[in-house]
Structure 1
């Protein structure tokens, strides 16, 4: 009976520590080796960074135009300057929001500025916050393995 109390106390302490700290996210672009569609954390050379906000979430942003694709992995607070972030930021992927008024009052001839944000024809935001470094390709698989190991350890200690 005493071991069950200790196990429950350790699990509660782990949950409280996890809630009190900021989430870790990978922060890179597809121009960085290892940060493309096939993600390899060894290629980018680090295990992610703390997000600046305590209630931040990780984001994987994919922008496509024809055969060109740009992937950005970052914290949501670092992308707040964008006006096309979907309103629903729960786990999962969503297309970018459309803002009909974006650059409505801008009238200049410099095409490279892309003030209307219409260069990319397909923009997708993928949000995650249930696990550290979840904006990598295999982050959720590592989380499931850790959950299974925790359950197995609890059953063995029984």
Structure 2
């Protein structure tokens, strides 16, 4: 009975993962408590991002001040003219790239190194981690499934 129940639970989880249509991201600003370099996930649970392909973390580092963080869905940031003009065109999972600089008085300077856009789409809530942290969620899921499979055998 225990083995059948475990297989049913695994099948249900796999069905949920397969039918997920959109990514879910943390959505917060550094002015809110608990939304700094790392997110207090209990305060900012995942939110559905609808048509977004990526979760985005924006880090603005102004010399002499604390860094400012924005964690948001890609499509919501693109609704803002500021982010639409600054967001890098190359968007891939794990990329943290400087913002584009649209300065007509200095057309040779293409990037703004004070602002970074970090993109992810590997798992829900992936925009919680600082950019130096190794992503451990897939490893934890794999080890949990491996443990269940070894108990079945």
Assess same fold via TM > 0.5: yes
Query: For residues 48 and 30 of structure 1, what CA distance do their matches in structure 2 show?
Result: 16
Structure 1 runs (4+) greater than 6 angstroms displaced: 5-8
Please name the residue that 2:93 is paired with.
91
Count of residues paired in the alignment: 137
Give 1:152's aligned residue.
147
Q: What residue is the counterpart of 1:123 in the other structure?
A: 115
The two structures have a TM-score, normalised by structure 2, of 0.72
Alignment of 1:4-153 (within 5 A): 13-18=15-20, 20=21, 22-42=22-42, 45-53=43-51, 55-68=52-65, 69-80=67-78, 81=80, 82=83, 83-99=85-101, 102=102, 104=104, 122-137=114-129, 140-153=135-148
Q: Distance in 1 between matches of 2:141 and 2:64?
A: 37
Calculate the TM-score normalised by the size of structure 1: 0.70
Ranges in structure 1 where 5+ consecutive residues have no aligned partner: 106-117
Per-residue CA deviation, residues 85-144 of structure 1 (Å, 9 max, x unaligned), is 122211123323434xx3639xxxxxxxxxxxx9x7511111111100111128933442
Alpha-carbon distance in 2 for matches of 1:85, 1:47: 24
CA distances 1:29-88 after superposition (whole Å, capped 9, x unpaired): 11010001132123xx241210031x5210111011103211000001111132121222
